[in-house]
Structures are given as structure tokens and as C-alpha cells.
Structure 1
Amino acid sequence: MVDLTALIVVGSSTHPDGSGNENFFNGMFNAPPYNSGDDLEHVNFFTGPFGINEALQAHSGEDNAVLSSGWGAANASLLLMALQATKDPVLTKTVFILDNNVARPDGGFGTRYPWFALIGVNPIPSPTNTDALGVVDVGYQYDYNSNAPADVLNPVAAVNSLVAYLYRRLNQNDLDLPVNPDGSPSVTCGSANTCGVTDKGAVLACPDARCADVPEGDRVAAYVTQRGKTTYVTYTTNGLPLTNLIRDVVPFGDAIADLTEPVLTAIVNSAYPHGNPIPADPSKYQPATPFSSLPQLVSTAVDHTTPASQATSVSSATRETESTSKIATEEPTVEKKQPKRHVVRDSKKAVPAATAEDNPPSKSDSDVAVDNPTKTKPDDSGVSTHKEDAPKPGKDEKPDKS
């Protein structure tokens, strides 16, 4: 009896024979139903899509898995499209795992930079809707293979992507892949189109890969979304790879990295669509966009400063309005001219040498009712203290000297 079920492991450009890649993701595909013991086959990278197809056809009729990585994943993607075009029945029995996929629609360096087709890299984005049993497309934040910068003229982003690739290379063994053996997502998060899986195992609803609330002390380690029959998994980095390298190899690296990481992260992220290396829809094709970093940096700066500026403007306008309103509503204070008392006047009407006893002061203005003035009674001397009671001397009348 011949066992037709198999795990087909495809080599990559830097690891052509693919040996050991079957242990990716804790060896979840190197087990039943795909490998029951002797059902493992390696395909050399240099045989291309033809070598993968030959191995697959030799195990047709049963459930199979094709595990590929890097440039090898681009070759497997090309075969996937060919099988879909010919409606090959082997397709419906096969799960394709495209790890660090060079042909990822948003980020694969083969699709981002189509000129690499001149050296044989598949420039056609991996299809989303196929008749395959399942497709798993795995990407890594900042990695040059699957998350290359859109702005090829941003040198900081380019160096960061190369560092990310070197940190990640062949380190997939310990990763937990949040999918089922048939390639479907193993996590759910309600109606959100994307789930975020944290370091501590929490599953968050993250519409378009944007999580609203991440528990304190935790972080999103991977984003999972299904488009068509393809499950996209995007692993994140814990910090910027470039500054992680500074921490690891440069003297006083932690201090330098802490100081430079915010600026370097802004520069690196500006090289990606919408200033974010995590795509909202990884199935959407995003080619290179040279010279996009500077406008994106400006846009990011404006987004960060506009709310504060608006708040300042509103505050200033409010203060100005309040000040204007206060000025408009407050009645001007007019200082009432108080009559001078006990002063010898030069006027002809003035009584010379008059003293305080001669003219007792009247009540203060605050004691006088303006709207209804009243006369005061004469004092014991018979002289009235109200000005309306005082007799007015005529023109020819001389002042009394007594």
C-alpha cells in the first residue's frame, strides 16, 4: 500500500534544499494528516515551480501541504496560480503555506519591486481567491522578504528591513501559527475583519489591523485576517530592528537606542503606505512608491501637531471673545466730580473767609437719592444746608462782611 499524503518542503534561495524547514511553527505541519512518519519530501529551490508540481502530482488524491519560504514561497505562489488556471484537481486537496512570502501583495519584495523579475523573482502577487484547500500567507513586520519599504529611496528603511531579515531568518521554529491544519484561522474576534493575538495569548478585535485597546504590559504579537480562502498572518517586531541592533552591538547601546528610536521609527515608517508597516488589507497590491517618505513625514507631523494647534487657537479665540464680551458689556466707570469744600474761591459769588462752621457739609453723594432729591431742614443757625434753599445774591449785591 502506498501512502499518498505528504508534506512537501520547498527550499529557498539562501537555503536551497529546505532541510529543517519542516520544523517551522513548532512542526505543526510535520505531523498527521500531512506526515505520518515517512511522508516528508524536500524540493530543491533551483527546480522552481516545476519541481514543486512534480512532487505534488506524485502525491495527488490525498490531502497534502506545501511548506515554502522566502523566494521559494514566490515559486509556490506561481504554481498556485498555474493550478488555478488549469483547474487541476490536486489544488482542492492541498494547503499552501507561503512563509515570508516574496510575492505577498503588500510588502513582498518581488511584487513591491517588479524589476527583480529580471533575475527570476516572481513579480505577480499571490492570489487570494483560489480552489485550494487553504492558503496561509505569513509576513513579518519590516522584513525585506515580506514587508519591504514602498519607498526604495529611503536608506534608513532599507537598512532596517535588512536587519529585520537577519534577525528573523530561520527563527520560525518557535512561532505559534494561529491557524488550523486546513489553513483557516484558529482565532476569532467577533465581527472584526482582523484579530490581534498578544504575547500573553489574548485575542483582540482589530478592524483593519488597528487595535483600540491593548492591555497594559502586553502587545500585539501577530495580526490574523482571512480574505477569500487565504489566511494572512503578520508577525510584529518588539521594537525597531535597527535600534535593537544598536542595543545589541553598540557600547552604551540602550541609551543611544532610547534617544534615537522615536525619530528612526518615524523615518522608517514613512517609507510604508500610509506611514504604517502593518497593512490594513494585506491582500491589496501595493507597488513601490519612490519619493513618498518626505510627504508622509510631513503628513505625520501635521497629524501630530494640528490637534494641539487647533486647541491653542480655540483657547486663544475663546479668551479673546470673552475679553471682547467683557469690554462690551461692562459699563464704563465715570468718576463723579466731587465739589470742593472749605476752599476760598476767587469768584465774585464766593463768600470770603468762610469756615466749616459757616457751611456745614451736605450728605455724601451716596446718601442722596438722585431720582427724587429732597430738601434738608435748616439747622439751628437758620441756614439751610441744601443748595436750592440758599438765596442767590443779585448782580449788585455785595457779600455780607459780618
Structure 2
Amino acid sequence: MPEHHDARRPLIWLVALIPIALALIFWWWLSNEQAPERGREASPVAVGLAEVIERPFSATLGAVGDVEATDSVEIASLVTERITELHFDSGERVKRGDLLIQLDDRAEQQGLRAARVIVEQEQRELDRLKPLVRQGSIATQQIDAQRNRLESARIEAARLTAALEDRIITAPVSGLMGLNNLSVGEQISADTPLVTLDSIDRVQVDFSLPERELQRVKEGMAVTARSVAWPDRLFHGEVTTIDPRLDRDTRTVMVRARFDNPGLALRPGMLLEIALLLPARRRLIVPEGAIMGERDRQWVFVITSEADHYRAHRVDINVLERGPGWAAIDAGSDPERLQPGDSVAISGLRAIGEDRTLTLDETAARDTSTLFEQARQTTADEYAPDSEMPTP
């Protein structure tokens, strides 16, 4: 049988070789494309360095609160009566016991005079009857009745004396009077507020703190306060009371602080920005530019020397406090990874990788100690209290 020749066989081989050739071409192209990338990844990154320093650091807890008078009273009358005299002006400073308002007491004065006459008469009658009882001239019941009449007269006199006192309104505490909207001759009603009286030589401020801060707050701790009314002044006080109960809804605790108020600059109702000064702790300080972050994570790159080159190691951190150009940090659960004297990168951060070789950029280096001290001094000057206080 003659041999049959298949004309399609070379075509089949050609089709089979095409994918192999394409794969070889793609491999050659990919190798040439990635070679520059590998070269670029291997090229050194220039970074500026700053030293990690450790300093005593007094952190603060911030809050806001309203000024309240140490003693705040709404003056009211116990009786409904007409005003006959006013003895204070709006905003006047008064002392405890000073006469403020005199009400019409003519009827009570007359009644008291008559009651005192009756007391004297009943007393004389009792004195007259006592010898007669001893002599047996009158019955004991008669002198007992006279004693009852004398006691009734004394009770009436005491009632009228109290009624007179109710018509004299005096200052229950020392302080500043509120606005006077009263007039002589005006009829006032019992238990109706007439004017305010605030004792503000010392004031108090209540403010809330989160539950997690409760363990850090102690009675006697120093606090400072600022007000938009006196932006250049810093007011000093101390924590006097920590509420034993927390708010169930907000999980916050109320704290009360008292402030000296020379010049009466702080007035009830003012809003204050409160800073509670926590005990000093030693903290690691770095320039703020050394910190990188993403979502809820933050880190720095610690730079180490290895033979003839430098390497970067990422260290996750917690930022505890920030200031002008600096930040107080710690290394969280692994504090040994970050120590005073370590060097951190402050420039070229986005190009740094764990496997990148680094070179030092001396022009970008920063002295953390100088940066921190200058920033703290600027802050201290800005918040220095003014010795001059306003007068009321």
C-alpha cells in the first residue's frame, strides 16, 4: 500500500510553537522591564535624622466648664408687702448682714408696742397674786390661769417681733448684688425672687471627664483655666471634689475645682477651658515630622547603622501629647524597641522600606532637644499669667 503523506503536519507543528515563542518573548520583555525597577529599589534613600530624647513631661487633661459662684443666692421676701426703702445698687459689693430692703412694718411696730404693754401688765398681775397664794387668800388655779395669760402675751410679742424681722431683708452672704429692678413703693409677693447675690471671691467650676481618666485624677491636683473674656490671663485653682457617682449614660465623672478670683475677673456663667495638670512623667520626645500614620496606627522609622550603610526599622507608637513641632510618644506594648538616643527619620519617609539602603542627609537633620525646649518656652511665655487684674 503506498505511503500516505499528511500535508497538514508542518502546519500543526507551527501552531504548537507559536505559544512557546510568545512565552519566550514575554519573559524577555518582563525581565527587561523589571530590571530598572530593581535597580531603583536598590538605590539608596537620603534621610534626615533626629534623636529620640527623654524629658520630664507634665501632661494635661482638657475639659470645659461654667463658672459658678461659691455661694449664689436669689433674694426673696418671706411676706407680701410694700417696699419702703432700698439700700443697695446694681453690682454693689455688700457684706453679710448688710440691710438691702426695708418693707412696710408700721402695723407690726404698733402691734408689738401694744403686745409689750400687755406683757408688762400680765407680769405685774402675776407678781400681785403670788403673795396672795402663799397666804391662802386665793386658789392656786387662779395664779395658774394668770401664768397662762402672761405666756400668751409673750408669745404674741415674739410673733410680732418675728413679723418685723421678716420685713427687713439683709444680705445672707458677702458678695456682688445683681441688677436692681425694684422701686420704692412697689408691692412684692412672698417667695418671688427679687435680686441675685453672688459670692465670687472664690469661684468653682464643674467639668466632666471620661471614665478612663478617673484613676489619674486626685483631689488637690492643680488646674488652670482660660476664658475668652481674658485671653491673656491664666487662672489657677485645684480639684476639691470628685463625684462618687458616674453618669450611667455618658460614663463620665463630674469633677469640681475652685479658683481664687482676684479682681473678680471670673463671673458666674463664663465658659472656661480647663487644663488639669497631671503628675510629671518621663516621656520620649520626637519631632512631629518623624511620625507617619494610617487609619488608627502610627509609627516612626528607627535608623540603625549596619557596617557601611544604614537601615530603617518600623516601630509602632502611641502619641501621648502633641506640641508645636514635637510629640510625646511611647512604643506601646514593646517599649524596648524605642529608647532615648535612638535616631528616627524625619525626611524621605515615604520612600523608606525595610529593605532599602539609606544615606544620611545632613541638611535635613534636626536637634530634637533644641526644638522641644524652644517650643516649651514659647508656650510658657504665651500662657504666662498677667499680674494685672481687672477691678469690678
TM range (shorter): under 0.3
With normalisation by structure 1, the TM-score equals 0.16
Higher relative CO (CA 8 A, sep ≥ 6), structure 1 or 2? 2
With normalisation by structure 2, the TM-score equals 0.16
